[in-house]
Amino acid sequence: MIYLDANVFLTAFLRADKPGEDARAILNRIQRGEKTAATSSLTYDEFFWVVKKYRGFDAALRASKTLLEMPNLSILPVGVDEILFAHGLIEKYELAPRDAIHAACALTNGVHTMISDDRDFDKVKELARKEAWPRKNPNAKC
């Protein structure tokens, strides 16, 4: 199982370029059952908010429903155990709270591989981060 950061869904939905194609290919493999994946309930919030910002409320409502109904994708809850674990990751790696919550959701559910373009996850030694799409400038920060 792999963990998908919110940026995978956002890139798939909002971008028509090569990164968007690559993100959609990952989601298509999951939908076909070639891979299983998980993300946290925090992803729903991030996804809805950003899609609403760029495409409007109705588009966010439709797109987020698709995320919730995606086959072979588990939406992991964020509870007090995950928040406590995230707090430890913030202390240990100086992560932003959202990143720590994503990492904690993955790790507390036994998932050690994350797909994300966020290099901050490279600090978390317990996770193996894989990029879904190559960057044109390897030193650029998204």
Q: Please report, for the domain that includes residue 10, its CATH number.
A: 3.40.50.1010
Question: What local confidence, expressed as pLDDT, does residue 136 receive?
Answer: 61
Radius of gyration of the chain (CA): 15
Question: What local confidence, expressed as pLDDT, does residue 135 receive?
Answer: 65
Question: Does 11 map to a domain?
Answer: yes
Where in the sequence is the domain holding 87, given as residue range(s)?
A: 2-130
Tell me if 97 sits within 8 A of 54, measured CB to CB. Answer: no
CA distance 66 to 29: 15
Question: Does 85 map to a domain?
Answer: yes
Question: Does 15 map to a domain?
Answer: yes
Question: Does 142 map to a domain?
Answer: no
Find the helix or strand (DSSP H, E) in which 103 lies: helix 97-108
Question: Does 137 map to a domain?
Answer: no
Tell me if 48 sits within 8 A of 13, measured CB to CB. Answer: no
Tell me if 20 sits within 8 A of 11, measured CB to CB. Answer: yes
Q: Which residues of the chain have pLDDT under 50?
A: 138-142
Which pair of tokens denotes residue 96? Answer: 């932003």
Residue 37 DSSP SS3: strand
Domain count, the chain: 1
Question: What local confidence, expressed as pLDDT, does residue 142 receive?
Answer: 39
CA distance 28 to 19: 14
Question: Does 135 map to a domain?
Answer: no
To the question of pTM greater than 0.95 for the whole model, the response is no
Question: What local confidence, expressed as pLDDT, does residue 67 receive?
Answer: 96
